[in-house]
Structure 1
Amino acid sequence: MTNDSTQPGKPPATGGIVELAATELSRAIHAREVSCVEVLDAYFAQIDRFNPQVNAIVASLPREQLRTQASALDADLARGESRGVLHGFPQAPKDIMPAKGMVTTKGSPIFKGQVSQTDAVVFDRMRASGAIFVGRTNSPEFGLGGHTYNEVYGTTRNAFDPSLSAGGSSGGAGVCVALRMLPVADGSDMMGSLRTPAAFNHVYGMRTSVGCIPHGPTDEIFFQQFSVGGPMARNVPDLALLLSVMGGFDARLPLTHRAANIDFRAPLVRDFKGARIAWLGDLGGHLPTEPGLLEVCDKALVHFEAIGCIVDRVLPQFDMESLWRAWLDLRSFQFAGTNRALYDDPAKRRLLKPEAVWELERGLALTAMQVFDAARVRSAWYECLRRLHLQYEALLLPSAQVFPFDAALDWPHAVGGQSMDTYHRWMQTVIGATMAGLPALSVPAGLDADGRPVGLQIIGRTQDDFGVLQLGHAYDLASGASKVRSPLLG
């Protein structure tokens, strides 16, 4: 049995194809109620309707070429052959990791027009499962920052209000999911890059455990533990469907773990009566938040109580500022190691945005002992959360400290009256899960009086990605969050 609970019925009208949940769409394609060509054309129509407003999909591929692929997939089904659950799904891989035969700019003018010769592991898996890549989803330069804009493609705009930020760095992916321009979407998350756009666009985005999904291959495969792949979707079963394709061991990447015993398409329904949940709020005032945001999050806690959870307000006993400093060092160390060649070339250095130069110069100035000391702090933080998880099934935090902001801004320079001392301090709420390597699912918390979306992080125990999905699914059933639509959809 899978978590797709739909039953065979009448074929959906072509115009209704994009409203199908991904689990429903996969079933309808395999039942040959709709053809892969019809699905592709339905999503093309949706892209044509919204992409000019929001600029979420970039580097689009020729449509006739894609229709030929869809026709071949229809022929496969006519012979009784399915490539997988994504058979006939239009997809647009995030413009950070390489996708074979497609432009991979990483949002940087340095790589403008560069065509990749190989696929990242996750993209290879998505193709093998039958996905049709129609273009790329937009990302900020090198994925830096929680606002999707760059000099190559411009700014991606919010699915609920195009005057606002879509979040980042998987901003294009989040908008595509919210506006039904893609049935599901891939993303990646180092510092909330799945969670922030999920919150800003009222969808679900999951930062997976370290090693759940292969990251790469790259030229360094041991130190890199912060950026992970993950799915974005309108609901949790759809999220699980894409995760079932993306996840799993790859011998080229030794940090991936063997999870053959985990079936991400198993039933998600579970009884949470008596489960204890910890609401961490603003960490005792440590996290500056925009006025009104915590109130929206507080109201969402009732949905956890409705499914039987006991919600306690908890403050971790840890020096959160030391965690922030350790994060700065480890992030800069990683980014500088990956991108030093760009800095060493004066012509390329001139093309880097200021935030990238700042990260590189910080990283290059670090000593080995500073990096090791930061790793010690990280280890202590993991132990703090491990102990907390002995008492609590999950920990809750806001997914972002601000509401979606003006898309013309570079980033929020002040939050709650407090000046931000770095370009990403306003995203500090997301570093806890990243530094501990824990699974974290951003779920929609609700809308404020102005219709701006807010999200909550559900942070699970070590490698308990499936348990996080189950809790997120129960929350969705209680809250009805996945039924909330962008006003742009009509």
Structure 2
Amino acid sequence: MNLCNLNATDLQTMLARRDVSPTELMAATYDRIEAVNPTVNAIVNLLPRDQAMDLAQAAENAGSSGALYGMPIAIKDLANAKGFPTSMGSPLFSATDPMAKDDIMVVRMRAAGAIIIGKTNTPEFGLGSHTTNPVFGPCRNPWDTSKSAGGSSGGAAVALASRMVALADGSDMMGSLRNPAGWTGTYGLRPSFGAVPSEPMGDSFLHQLATNGPMARTPEDLALLLSVQAGPDPRQPHGIVLPPAKPARKLRIGWLGDWNGAFPMEPGVIDCCLNAVNLLADMGHEIVDLDAGFDAEAMWDSWITLRSWQVATGLAPLEAKPNARDLLKPAALWELDRGKAMSAMDVHRASVTRSQWFNRAKELFAQVDILALPTAQCWPFDVDWDWPREIAGRSMDTYHRWMQIVVPASLIGLPALAVPAGFGAQGLPMGLQLIGPRASDFDLLELGKAYHKAAEFAHQAPPL
């Protein structure tokens, strides 16, 4: 039996029953990492094998404790894990100096019994949905190693798809765990904003675009990790408690497609996602072709204003570092300079548009239970590109315009589940976003569990 092919919930059952030990799982994990990771470059700053085995032995000696007991996990290299460097993919940070403490999410995962073995690769500062950086190089898609794995949680998604780990943490501002899940045939949940707390430092009120969340190979495993990550932090003002899932029922699912032509799509993307939507119909759910009734350009202007403002607040202190501007990638400089140039009224106008979209979304959820969109507007592109300059004959005017389709959920903090939608003509995966009302996270995961059982293609492993 290959332990690395098992899902996290199955492994947890086996570990609790002593059918498998943490040391056996750790040995299998390292065998797999040593065989596969040199090709895909998903896990970075990996703990030496002997140290990982010592941690597994300590867990074994202590006995079963926690929802993630004995599970090897690598943390996305935007978050801090004690004893590991945090490079954020930037040459401005050391890739060798270990952090002195865990972020709150990592604290919770360790307390649940997880064993941290390394970090997962990410773009520089998480900017751009393509995992490559000047510190560790590109992460490659296991379905075709000449292609991108998306980002910024590309390393996490590839580690899952390649069967190196069974659970991974991701983060999502602009599709950062939805796009890589879609492009690797895995699952990712962007939680409702406030469900999974960030670090209690700096401003806690103004910025509500990004969140941490779970990634896995099944929705059941997403629910397992979310149960550990989620829960309010009393030091932060926007925390929410997620209610349990409601009893299963037939749902009305609103298909938004390409937003009435506002989002250019590469050939085959819509057809692939429609096949997944039709599968939901075969499961008994009602599918409704829905008009969003909201100006995509107004939403985009709101998004890039609020995003640049938030990103600039994080990057601005780095300008004091020697040669900082020479070391920042163009996308980071673009965000930094835009954010610093904004007035308070610019931000206010953007937030008014955000509020208008929030109210329109409430009207849509009065008509349907779920909104559905593709996870990306194009197929995985060449790993040597920085970003696609054109989609379906339409020029992409920014480094992230090709990911505009993830903005509707991100702008107003809605939960969004990325599920595999199948494969295109080139054999590459695509994903479907299932977006629910605020705090419907566990309802989405229940839908995802049923979908996973029905979707045979979601059980396929890459040829790597």
Task: Give the distance between the partners of 2:56 and 2:299, measured in 1 at CA.
Answer: 49
Residue of 110, 117, 124 corresponding to 2:92: 110
Contact 1:204 1:232 in 2 (8 A): yes
Partner Cα separation in structure 2 for residue 159 and residue 124 of structure 1: 30
Indicate the residue corresponding to 1:26 in structure 2. Answer: 12
The answer on whether the counterparts of 2:248 and 2:446 sit within 8 Å (CA) in structure 1 is no
Matching residue within 445, 451, 454 for 2:421: 445
Partner of 1:296: 272
295, 299, 303: which is aligned to 1:319? 295
Structure 2 counterpart of 1:177: 160
Distance in 1 separating the partners of 2:318 and 2:325: 6
Which amino acid is 2:27 matched to?
Answer: D
Residues 279, 311 of structure 1: 8 Å contact kept:
yes
Q: Please tell me the residue identity of whatever aligns with 2:177.
A: L
SS in 2 for 1:301: helix
Instruction: Spell out, residue by residue over 1:89-146, the C-alpha distance to the aligned partner (whole angstroms, 9 max, x if none).
Output: 0000000021111100011000123422121111011111111111100000000000
Q: Which residue number in structure 2 is paired with residue 72 of structure 1?
A: 58
Letter in structure 2 aligned against 1:107: G
Distance 1:473 1:88 in 2: 24
SS in 2 for 1:442: strand
Match of 1:357 among 323, 330, 333: 333
Is the CA contact (8 Å cut-off) linking 1:445 and 1:454 kept in structure 2?
yes
Instruction: Describe how 1:94-133 pairs up with structure 2 within 5 A.
Output: 94-113=76-95, 114-133=97-116
Equivalent position SS for 1:117: coil
Matched, 1:479 2:455: yes
Within the alignment, does 1:151 sit opposite 2:137 as a pair?
no
Instruction: Give the conservation status (yes or no) of the 8 Å contact 2:232–2:240.
Output: yes
Q: Which runs of 5+ in 1 are unaligned?
A: 1-12
Output the CA distance in 2 between the equivalents of 1:481 and 1:112. 41
d(CA) in 1 for partners of 2:129, 2:37: 20
> Would you say the 8 A contact 2:181–2:187 is kept in 1?
yes
Do the aligned partners of 2:209 and 2:412 also contact (CA within 8 Å) in 1?
no
* Post-superposition offset of 1:345: 4.1
Contact 1:112 1:152 in 2 (8 A): no
Following the alignment from structure 1 to structure 2, what is the Cα–Cα distance between the partners of residues 438 and 137?
25
Alignment-mate amino acid for residue 272 of structure 1 = R
Q: Distance in 2 between matches of 1:455 and 1:413?
A: 21
Deviates more, 1:217-226 or 1:371-380: 217-226
Q: Secondary structure at the match of 1:164?
A: strand
Match of 2:185 among 202, 211, 224: 202
Q: CA deviation at 1:346?
A: 5.2
Mapped partners of 2:175, 2:232: distance in 1: 23
Q: Percent identity?
A: 47
Checking the alignment, whether the CA contact within 8 Å between 2:422 and 2:458 is kept in structure 1 is no
Query: SS where residue 485 of structure 1 aligns?
Result: coil
Segments of 4+ in structure 1 off by > 6 A?
none
CA-CA distance at 1:375 after TM superposition: 0.4
d(CA) in 2 for partners of 1:244, 1:453: 28
Task: Report if the CA contact (8 A) 1:120-1:217 is conserved.
Answer: no
Map 1:364-443 to 2 at 5 A: 364-443=340-419
Deviation at 1:308, TM superposition (A): 1.2
Q: Which residue of 2 aligns with 1:42?
A: 28
> One-letter code of the match for 2:117?
V
Contact 1:83/1:129 (8 A) holds in 2 = yes
Residue 272 of structure 1 contacts residue 308 of structure 1 at CA under 8 Å; is this kept in 2?
no
**In 2, distance between residues paired with 1:288 and 1:472?**
27
Task: Tell me how far apart the structure 1 counterparts of residues 184 and 376 of structure 2 sit (CA, whole Å).
Answer: 12
What count of residue pairs does the alignment treat as equivalent? 463
- Please tell me the root mean square deviation across aligned C-alpha atoms, in Å: 1.2
Contact 2:161 2:461 in 1 (8 A): yes
Q: Distance in 2 between matches of 1:480 and 1:252?
A: 44
- C-alpha distance in 2, partners of 1:89/1:368? 46
Write the letter of the residue equivalent to 1:45: D
Task: Verify: 1:88 aligned to 2:70, yes or no.
Answer: yes
1:229 corresponding residue in structure 2: 212
Amino acid at match of 1:363: G
In structure 2, list runs of 5 or more residues that go unmatched: none
**Match 1:253 to one of 236, 241, 252:** 236
Shift in Å, 1:481: 3.8
> In structure 2, how many angstroms separate the alpha carbons of the residues matched to 1:84 and 1:163?
39
Asked if structure 2 preserves the Cα contact closer than 8 Å seen for 1:184 and 1:232, the reply is yes
Q: Distance in 2 between matches of 1:145 and 1:368?
A: 26
